[in-house]
Amino acid sequence: MTDAHRRLGPVVRLAPAKLNLTLAVLGRREDGFHALHSVMVPLSLADQLSLAPAPPGGVDSLHRTGLDAGPIEHDLVLRAIRHAREALPRGPFGADPAPPVAARLDKRIPVAAGLGGGSSDAAAALDAVLELWAADVETERRAAIAAEIGSDVPFFLARGPALVEGRGERVTPLAWLRPGEEAPGVLLVTPAVRLPTPAVFAAYAAGHRAGGAARLASEHLAAELRDGRLGTRDLLARAAVLASANDLAAAADAVEPGLLPFRRSLVRVLARPVGLSGSGPTHWALYPSLDAARAASDALHAALAAGRLALPGDAPPAIHAVSILAAHGGPS
């Protein structure tokens, strides 16, 4: 690495959570993955990642703080750095592989929760490490590397609301809501059970599915958001349709039978539609603003203290009041 390529300071990125407003499963592909049609949006809840050059001759390292995210050697941040190094044209570093990286990650997004935290960390790591190495990799190649790391990773490179298709590799940015609208608020409730995505897809493949109504709702929402015609109120008016537009819900309920009574108790307490994000177990409710979501969070804490929620898991749920981001990311 030449001095021109060496960055002195760390590269810092916020890695936002995502919410699936819709999630339609269209069928099983030949590669074993499922073909999806999903409207995904980034949220203000985010992990924080920082990458710096490691001492020459060292190895990649990751130091994590915040929520427990399982074995560090399985962390997608390290995987993203490895994939980026393998994919690099040799140009910037002559015959040498790209140099080692010291990563720090503060985990704030609940883990294995349907919020895409690990995938978002991976996308942020890919983007940040290429900047650290001053490596010029075109958008399409970045997207291909992202798809190799995991199905949800390409979405986060789009840096805004998007329609996600294929197994997750086809990402079409959506205009989102009319300009000038107040960002919708979201109340996220994550019961203390982890639902591994492969287990939920396996339950789906084994026949735990209901209705299949998600496809129409998903196509309709994507069409409406493509050209920015909707306002925040319009989105909220569709909440009941969106809350039932997740084809993985029946499968998630089969893997964790406590989810159905939990969801019903949440609907009773919040008195509004409640949906499942991704493969769960995080549930969501939409609000006209972040302030309204915060008020609902207070009410939910009170209901929790009064024992009015049917809880799976042996710990209280994580509760977050957040807003939907129209855009995120970029060099810090």
Residues catalogued as catalytic = 18, 152
**Residue 152 main-chain phi, psi, to 5 deg:** -85, -5
Report the distance separating Cα 210 and Cα 185, nearest Å.
28
- Closest distance to ligand C5P from the beta carbon of 151 (Å): 3
CB nearer to ligand C5P: pick between 33 and 93: 33
Q: Which residue is nearest to ligand C5P (CB)?
A: 151
CB nearer to ligand C5P: pick between 36 and 186: 36
C-alpha distances out from residue 226 to 24, 41, 161, 173, 245, Å: 18, 13, 10, 8, 18
- Closest distance to ligand C5P from the beta carbon of 5 (Å): 32
CB nearer to ligand C5P: pick between 27 and 330: 27
Question: What residue ranges bind ligand C5P (CB under 6 A)?
Answer: 33-34, 36, 150-152, 167-168, 197-198, 201
Residues in a beta bridge with 102: 52, 61
- Closest distance to ligand C5P from the beta carbon of 8 (Å): 35
- Closest distance to ligand C5P from the beta carbon of 153 (Å): 8
What is the 8-class DSSP label of residue 246?
Answer: B
**Residue 162 main-chain phi, psi, to 5 deg:** -155, 155
CB nearer to ligand C5P: pick between 20 and 151: 151
**Residue 89 main-chain phi, psi, to 5 deg:** -60, 145
SS3 content of the chain, % helix, strand, coil (to 5): 35, 25, 40
